[in-house]
Amino acid sequence: MPYGLVSSPVIGFDLVRHPSGPQAALVLRYAVGAGAEHVRALAATAAGGRAGAAAAAARDHAERSPGQDATALARVVLQAGDAGAARSLLEVGSLGGLPDLLALVRERVVSQCWARPTLLHPPGEGADLLDDDERAAAAEAVEAALVRAWTGASPPAGEDPFRAAMAVAPARPAPLGEAAARVRDALGRLASATPAQVEGLRRAAAPPASGAPGPGSWARAVHDVSVDLESAGRTEAAACVQLEAVGAARLAGLDAPSAAAGAWQVASGALHALVAGSTGASARSLLAPWERALGVPAPPATGSRPVPRPRGSLDPGTGAGEAGAGEPGAGGPDQGEPWA
């Protein structure tokens, strides 16, 4: 199944269930939010052809290990009367896979996010200012980092080009406008959720007792909100939040069975609605189960509580690093393991 940034909750669903999902999400989040300085830093790590060779190996691995659409398989098994097997497929299968992530980098991130101005960077600071060769070299570095993350492979000691690029050009916070405090609060609640609250998220996804939208209604609600985000030019910012949520969910101990049972559906849908700032019926249907699951009212429009930040991560709410959360360009990931 091809990935698209407009359907970033789907990408998050696959990554949150993957053993190395938070690491892959960290790489993709950096690439989606990259401006000229970040692309230059990534391109510099490709010197000597090492990133190119790694990217070629990544594509070869992807071609030999195609992704499998777990939803389609689960539907067939469910129709055959085995609900337990269908649930198991959703726990371990993916809607896309490494080939789709690599295609997303080339066809969406490089060809669109890096080739035109976006809301993620002020005028004159976007990757669209760079030439094709520099963007291509940076893409190779991202692909190589993605395949290492997806496969759980570690680079040689002291040789982590992706981390080196992040140290030179720390990730910037996604521009969320008035929604920033609400999103930061929600991501903080997700990252620090207790086991009982994670179970509450899972239970909140089960209609009709909870009043949550069913799978089809949830997909329609997310689609409606995604349309609002795209119309406002905030698709990339929303994707950054969904990718940060993968690490926040892992911090809370949200595992593959819980995600497949609906916990991710509740969390990602609420975050999508919060980023959009929508007030329509679709947004309300996505926010209501989240609010009930955590036993708290909707986050206030201003102010927030501190967000726990794991070593090596982006700030869950802003994309900023350890220093100066909320200040453009301030801070950045350290050299620790992501989401450790």
Single-letter residue type at 270: A
User: Do 170 and 332 meet the contact criterion of CB atoms below 8 Å apart?
Assistant: yes
Interval 195-227: pLDDT, tens = 999 999 999 987 654 455 555 688 899 999 999
pLDDT of residue 168: 93
Q: What is the CA radius of gyration of the chain?
A: 19
pLDDT of residue 314: 42
User: Do 233 and 118 meet the contact criterion of CB atoms below 8 Å apart?
Assistant: yes
**pLDDT above 60: residue 88:** no
**Segment 270-283 mean pLDDT:** 91
Using the structure block, give the residue that is written with the tokens 């990133």: 51
Tell me the C-alpha distance between 287 and 229, whole Å: 16
**Segment 97-106 mean pLDDT:** 88
User: Do 245 and 306 meet the contact criterion of CB atoms below 8 Å apart?
Assistant: no
**Segment 269-276 mean pLDDT:** 95
Give 321's pLDDT tier (boundaries 50, 70, 90): very low
Interval 19-52: pLDDT, tens = 899 999 999 999 999 999 999 999 988 754 555 5
pLDDT of residue 37: 92
Interval 223-249: pLDDT, tens = 999 999 999 889 999 999 999 999 999
Q: Model-level pTM?
A: 0.78
Interval 294-311: pLDDT, tens = 865 554 443 333 333 333
The conformation of residue 177, written as its DSSP 8-state character, comes to: G
Sign of CA dihedral 44, 245, 276, 8: positive
DSSP class per residue in 47-101: GGGHHHHHHHHHHHHHHHS---BHHHHHHHHHHTT-HHHHHHHHHH-BSS-HHHH
Q: Bridge partners of 69?
A: 94
Lowest mean pLDDT among 4-18, 69-83, 121-135: 69-83
For residue 2, what are its two tokens? 């091809």
Torsion of CA 37, 227, 15, 87, to 10 degrees: 180
Helix-strand-coil split of the chain, %, nearest 5? 60, 0, 35
Tell me the C-alpha distance between 340 and 321, whole Å: 15
